[in-house]
Amino acid sequence: MISGATGQLQEGRARSGNGAGRKLGYMLLYVVLIGVAVFQLFPLVWLLLFSLKNNQEVFDLPPLSLPMNPRWENYEKVWSAGNISVYFLNSVWITVAATALTVILGSLVTFAITRMKWKGSSFVLGLFMVAMMIPVHSTLIPLFSIFNKVGLTDHPISLILSYVAFNMPITIMILLGFYYTLPKEVEEAAVMDGCSVHRVFFRIVLPMTGSVLATTAIINMIYNWNEFIFVNTFISSDMFKTLTVGVQNFIGQYTTDWGAIGATLMISILPILLMFLFLSDRIVEGIAAGSVKG
């Protein structure tokens, strides 16, 4: 609300402020902003273009030229050759499973911390928040040996557990902000009427947090989809690898086929780009909420 009003006020001033110098200044600002936008987008446009060319076209044509006939067969080729389709499905189900678990467990914790009365709640919250500062790499060797001992290396459960643990702090942090703003009257009335805690949580509170759940779920999905080092360390069978590591291995074998490499990379980033196209506001909101308090 406030920022909208400012915008209008400032626009009004800008219009009343006359003079060519001022206009030139604005032009310059836009040139800077558009320059940054081009820098951010250019590599991706180039990627899309070379994913539709064969090597000859990549080497002989100017970088930003459109291929004569877009070679969609690059996509067909990498999808069926190699294991890209397997990696893709692994990424999907592991991302979804880890995200669902994180969001549910995180909601339970946040509910218990903000709504229930118990000693040690702030200590437990502290444990979750401090975990945010711990570098993943410092846990890698012991995690590898623990998972090895219990027979979970080369098993998707090792990935799901790791994703749940390392995304739990940020999930709880985003949820906390929302839970504090939720009115408690409805729950209090429900408890008075003899409603159980489970009912209060699952029937009243959880449905009210729908929008923030969506935000945290999206942030979780992006992190899980892109995760590399755990998959690279824990998983050795092709049947369990996800796209990040799969893409890395696949490209290692096809270092000279630019079209195939481009198509593989495009397939790996397309789900995220599509999600961004439809949910950009929520993603922006989630990233802003998850970062500033860090």
Partner 1 sequence: MDKVMSNKKIIALYVLPALLVIMAVVYIPIILTAYYGLNEWNGIGAMTFIGLDNYQALLTDGKFWDSAWHSLLLAVFSAASLIIYLAVAMVLASKIKGANLFRKIYLIPMLLSSVAIAQLWLRIYHPTNGIVNSFLESIGISNPPAWLAEPSLVLFALFIPILWQYAGFYILIYYAALKNIPASLVEAAKIDGATSMQIAFRIKLPLIMEVIKVTIVLAVVGSLKYFDLIFVMTDGGPNGSSEVMASYMYHTAFRAYDFGYGSAIGFFLLVICLIVTWVIRKLTASKETIQYS
x-or-dash string of contact with partner 1, 136-155, rule CB under 8 A? xxxxxxxxxxx---------
Question: Is residue 167 within 8 Å of residue 223, measured between CB atoms?
Answer: yes
Q: Based on the shown chain and the rule CB under 8 A, indicate whether residue 81 belongs to the binding site for partner 1.
A: no
Q: Based on the shown chain and the rule CB under 8 A, indicate whether residue 27 belongs to the binding site for partner 1.
A: no
Those residues whose C-beta lies under 8 Å from the C-beta of residue 170, and which sit 6 or more positions away, are 132, 216, 219, 290
Q: Based on the shown chain and the rule CB under 8 A, indicate whether residue 39 belongs to the binding site for partner 1.
A: yes
Q: Which helix (H) or strand (E) holds 154?
A: none
Q: In a 3-state reduction of DSSP, which class is residue 23? A: helix
Of 68-76, 81-89, 173-181, 244-252, the segment contacting partner 1 by CB under 8 A is 244-252
Out of 24, 27, 37, 66, the only residue in the binding site for partner 1 (CB under 8 A) is 37
Out of 24, 27, 29, 239, the only residue in the binding site for partner 1 (CB under 8 A) is 29
The Cα 100–Cα 224 span in angstroms is 11
The Cα 135–Cα 224 span in angstroms is 16
Angle at 249 (CA atoms; ends 222, 83), nearest 5 degrees: 80
Out of 21, 43, 183, 207, the only residue in the binding site for partner 1 (CB under 8 A) is 43
Query: Closest CB to partner 1 among 77 and 159?
Result: 159
x-or-dash string of contact with partner 1, 95-134, rule CB under 8 A? ----------xx-xx-xxx-xxxx-----x--xx--x-xx
Of residues 177 through 236, those in contact with partner 1 by CB under 8 A are 188, 191-192, 196-198, 201, 222, 225-229, 233
Burial of 16 (0-12, 13-18, 19+ CB in 10 A): exposed
Q: Based on the shown chain and the rule CB under 8 A, indicate whether residue 5 belongs to the binding site for partner 1.
A: yes
Of 25-33, 73-81, 175-183, 203-211, the segment contacting partner 1 by CB under 8 A is 25-33
Q: In a 3-state reduction of DSSP, which class is residue 242? A: coil
Question: Is residue 224 within 8 Å of residue 99, measured between CB atoms?
Answer: yes
Query: Closest CB to partner 1 among 85 and 249?
Result: 249
